[in-house]
């Protein structure tokens, strides 16, 4: 049985920004495909929260490289999965705030 998934405010805003960027640059059809792919990855995580390794910086945060452009950081509480952040792999890691 999958665990419930919760979005942090930060992750929700970052996901919206990613989808808005993709929609503006490549069109709504591509943005819908990206959204569907992200949801598939999130569904996999909800089924098996230990699927991806712990972050090097914070042991309670797991790191899922969704694609070469985006990494998802999440944590598992034992009761639910919390999506912490969707980050561009081109951003400075020091701005992530997970150190």
All structural domains of the chain with their residue ranges: 5-87
Q: Report CA Rg, the chain.
A: 13
Q: Hunting for tokens 């942090």 — which residue is that?
A: 8
Read out DSSP for 36-59? HHHHHHHHHHHH-TTSSPBPSS-T
Which CATH number applies to 5-87?
A: 3.30.2310.20
In angstroms, the CA 48 to CA 25 distance is: 33
Mean pLDDT by 10 residues, the chain (99 residues): 94 94 92 94 96 88 92 95 89 49
What is the predicted pLDDT for the residue at 89? 75
Q: Is 82 helix (H, G, I), strand (E, B) or coil?
A: strand
């Amino acid at each position: 049985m999958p665990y419930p998934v919760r979005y942090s405010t930060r992750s929700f805003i970052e996901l919206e920004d990613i989808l808005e960027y993709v929609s503006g640059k490549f069109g709504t059809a591509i943005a819908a495909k990206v959204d569907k792919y992200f949801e598939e990855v999130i569904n996999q995580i909800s089924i098996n929260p230990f699927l991806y390794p712990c972050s090097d910086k914070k042991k309670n945060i797991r790191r899922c490289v969704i694609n070469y452009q985006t990494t998802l950081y999440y944590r598992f509480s034992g009761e639910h999965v919390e999506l912490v952040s969707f980050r561009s792999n081109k951003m400075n890691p020091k701005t992530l705030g997970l150190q």
